[in-house]
Amino acid sequence: MKILGIDDNTDINELLDTVLNGSGHEFTYVTNGTEGLKLIREKKFDIVLLDLAMPEFSGFDVRNSLLKEGLLSKQKVILFTASSVLDSEIEELIKKGVNSCIRKPVDVDFLIEKLEQLQI
């Protein structure tokens, strides 16, 4: 499936690139929210892995823009975060159209499993 990673941590992006592309998925990544938003507008992804804590244009901003532009339901959005975001805030976001949340650090095998579950 087509997966977009939006994360300012290149190491994670490279890791996911290796793992997901190696497992038969089509993984693209960008390192900031603005570019990510641009790509979502242009292309169709199955899943967006969205890091919340990014400088300038954060995961929250991306999610809010998607909501405004009616693009939130275009694909599944999985929050991918290790930042000090409270559970309650994440719960709030999940209620408002975000599909799931995966906390960093994450077991790679568990991540693949989780992504594949979501597609079904």
Partner 1 sequence: MFSLVIIAAVLSTSYISFKSLESAIIDSQLQQMGHEVEIKANLIDTLNSRASEDLLFAVKNPVFVKYFELPDTRAGNVYKDGVLQFTAQQRIVKEELDQWIYDFQNKFPVDETCLVDKTGQEQTRLVMKSIAPFAELSSREKATPFFKPSFQKNINQVYSQYPYVSPDTKRWVFAYTTPIVLSDGSKPAFYHFEIPLKSFQNITQVDQGRAYVLDPKGYLVADSGHIYNQSLNSAHFGQSPRDYFPSISTISTSSEFNKDVRNIMASNSTNTGHLTYSVNGELHYIVFKKLPMFGWVLAYEKPYSLMMSGNYNLQNLAVMLFLISLGVIAGGLLVVYLLSNRITRPIIDVAKKCRNQDVANLQKIDPIGKDKEINEVIYAFNEMIERVDAIEKQKDEFASMVTHELKSPLTPIIGWCQTLKNPKLIGQLNSKQLKAVDAIQRNAKRLQQLVGDILDVQKLDLNRMKFESLPVDINDLLNYMYNNLQNVMAQKNIEQTNSTKEQLTVKSDRNRIEQVLNNLILNAVDFVPSETGKIEYGAQSKGADVLFYVKDNGTGIPPEKQKNLFRKFYQIDTSVTRKHGGSGLGLAISKGIIESLGGKIWIESELGKGANFYFTVPVDRTNIVTSEKVMDVEKAAK
| Residues within the interface to partner 1 (CB under 8 A) | 9, 11-12, 14-16, 18-19, 22-23, 82-84, 86-88, 104-109
Tell the smallest beta-carbon distance from residue 32 to partner 1 (Å): 16
Please, which residue, 35 or 107, has the CB nearer to partner 1? Answer: 107
Triad 113, 117, 120: Cα angle to 5°: 145
- Sorted by sequence, the CB contacts under 8 Å of residue 62 that are 6+ apart come out as 6, 33, 36, 37, 50
HSE-CB at 106 with a 13 A cutoff on CA atoms is: 22
Please, which residue, 16 or 115, has the CB nearer to partner 1? Answer: 16
For the chain, list the strands marked E by DSSP: 2-6, 26-30, 47-50, 76-81, 100-103
Please, which residue, 74 or 104, has the CB nearer to partner 1? Answer: 104
Tell the smallest beta-carbon distance from residue 1 to partner 1 (Å): 18
The identity of residue 27, as a single letter, is F
Tell the smallest beta-carbon distance from residue 84 to partner 1 (Å): 4
Please, which residue, 1 or 71, has the CB nearer to partner 1? Answer: 1
Tell the smallest beta-carbon distance from residue 51 to partner 1 (Å): 9
